[in-house]
Structure 1
Amino acid sequence: MTDQRNYSDARIKEAEKGSTEAIPEQASSEDLRKHSILRTIALVLLLASSSFLNTAVTQASVIVLPTIGRDLNIPSGRLQWVLSAPSLVYASTLLLWGRLADICGRRLIFQLGLACVSLSCLIAPFAPEEVSFDIFRALQGLGGAAATPSAVGIIFGAFLPGKPQIYAMSAFSAGFPLGNVVGNILGGIISQYLHWKWIFWIMAVVAACSCGLSLVIVPPLARDVELQSSPLAKRLKILTSQMDWIGLLLSLAFLVLLLVALTEGNVVGWTAPWILTLLVSSCALFLPSFIFWELRLENQPNSRPPLLKLSVFKSRMYCAVQAIAFIFWASFNNFLVFATYFYQDYQKLNVIETTLRFLPSGITGLITVYVSSQILSRVNSYIVALWGTACVSVACLLFAVAIPPDTSYWAYGFPAMIILTLGGDTLYPCLSLFVMKSIPNEDQAMGAAMFQAMGQIGRSIGLAIATAIQISVTNSQLGKRSEEEALLKGYRAAEWFSFAVGALSFGVAAYTFRGAGTLGKS
Structure 2
Amino acid sequence: MSTAPPEVAATTGSSEAPSRGVSPGVALAVLAGAQLMIVLDATIVNIALPDIRGALGFSEASLTWVMNAYTLTFGGLLLLGGRLGDLLGRRKMFIWGLLVFTLASLLGGFAQNEATLLAARALQGVGGAFTAPAVLSLVTTTFKEGAERNKALGVYAAVSGMGAAVGLLAGGFLTEYANWRWVMFVNVPIGIGLALAIPRVFPADKIAEAGRGLGRFDIPGAITSTVGVSALVYGFIRAAEESWSDSVTLVAFVLAAVFIALFIAIELRTRQPLLPLRLFLNKTRTGGYLVMMLAGAGMMSTFFFLTLFMQNEELLDLSPVLAGTAYLPLTVGVITSAQVTSRLITTRGPRPFLIVGPLVAGAGLLWLSFLETDSNYWSGILPGVVLMGFGMGAVFVSIMTTATAGIAAEDAGIGSAVLNVTQQIGGTIGLAVLATISTSAFESDLDEQVDKVGQPTASVVAHASAAGWTTAILASSIMLFASALIAFALVRIRREDVRVDPSAVTH
Q: Normalization by structure 1: what TM-score?
A: 0.87
Other-structure match for 1:200: 184
Q: Provide the alpha-carbon RMSD of the alignment.
A: 1.9
Other-structure match for 2:262: 289
1:259-274 to structure 2, matched below 5 A, reads 259-274=233-248
1:344 aligns with 2:311: yes
Query: Is the alpha carbon distance of 1:68 and 1:114 closer, same or farther for their aligned partners in structure 2, counting shifts above 3 Å?
Result: same
Query: Is the alpha carbon distance of 1:185 and 1:487 closer, same or farther for their aligned partners in structure 2, counting shifts above 3 Å?
Result: closer
Give the letter aligned to residue 335 of structure 1: T
Using the alignment, how far apart are the partners of 1:519 and 1:124 within structure 2? 45
Q: Any idea what the Cα deviations from partners look like across 1:169-216, whole Å, max 9, x if unmatched?
A: 212223235534543332222222211112222211111101111121
Give the letter aligned to residue 199 of structure 1: V
Using the alignment, how far apart are the partners of 1:430 and 1:382 within structure 2? 7
1:86-485 to structure 2, matched below 5 A, reads 86-177=70-161, 179-226=163-210, 238-283=212-257, 285-297=258-270, 303=271, 305-345=272-312, 346-401=315-370, 403-437=371-405, 439-481=407-449, 482-485=460-463
Deviation at 1:159, TM superposition (A): 1.7
Give the letter aligned to residue 429 of structure 1: V
Using the alignment, how far apart are the partners of 2:324 and 2:28 within structure 1? 28
Query: Is the alpha carbon distance of 1:262 and 1:371 closer, same or farther for their aligned partners in structure 2, counting shifts above 3 Å?
Result: same
Give the letter aligned to residue 247 of structure 1: G
Between stretches 330-339 and 167-176, larger displacement belongs to: 167-176
Give the letter aligned to residue 359 of structure 1: L
Other-structure match for 2:457: none
Q: Any idea what the Cα deviations from partners look like across 1:44-87, whole Å, max 9, x if unmatched?
A: 01011221002233322111111011111010111111111111
Using the alignment, how far apart are the partners of 1:510 and 1:207 within structure 2? 40
Query: Is the alpha carbon distance of 1:320 and 1:274 closer, same or farther for their aligned partners in structure 2, counting shifts above 3 Å?
Result: same
Deviation at 1:438, TM superposition (A): 5.8
Other-structure match for 2:69: 85
Deviation at 1:515, TM superposition (A): 5.6
For structure 1, the 5+ residue unaligned runs are 1-23, 228-237, 298-302
Using the alignment, how far apart are the partners of 1:275 and 1:170 within structure 2? 39
Give the letter aligned to residue 314 of structure 1: L
Using the alignment, how far apart are the partners of 2:350 and 2:339 within structure 1? 17
The aligned length equals 475
Query: Is the alpha carbon distance of 1:57 and 1:515 closer, same or farther for their aligned partners in structure 2, counting shifts above 3 Å?
Result: closer
Say if 1:156 and 1:444, in contact at 8 Å, map to a contact too: yes
Give the letter aligned to residue 287 of structure 2: A
Using the alignment, how far apart are the partners of 2:361 and 2:113 within structure 1? 39
Query: Is the alpha carbon distance of 1:251 and 1:82 closer, same or farther for their aligned partners in structure 2, counting shifts above 3 Å?
Result: same
Query: Is the alpha carbon distance of 1:208 and 1:519 closer, same or farther for their aligned partners in structure 2, counting shifts above 3 Å?
Result: farther
Report % sequence identity. Answer: 23
Using the alignment, how far apart are the partners of 2:282 and 2:406 within structure 1? 8
Q: Normalization by structure 2: what TM-score?
A: 0.89
Give the letter aligned to residue 328 of structure 2: L
Using the alignment, how far apart are the partners of 1:122 and 1:193 within structure 2? 20
Using the alignment, how far apart are the partners of 2:351 and 2:161 within structure 1? 24
For structure 2, the 5+ residue unaligned runs are 1-13, 450-459, 501-507
Select the structure with the greater relative contact order (CA < 8 A; seq sep ≥ 6). 2
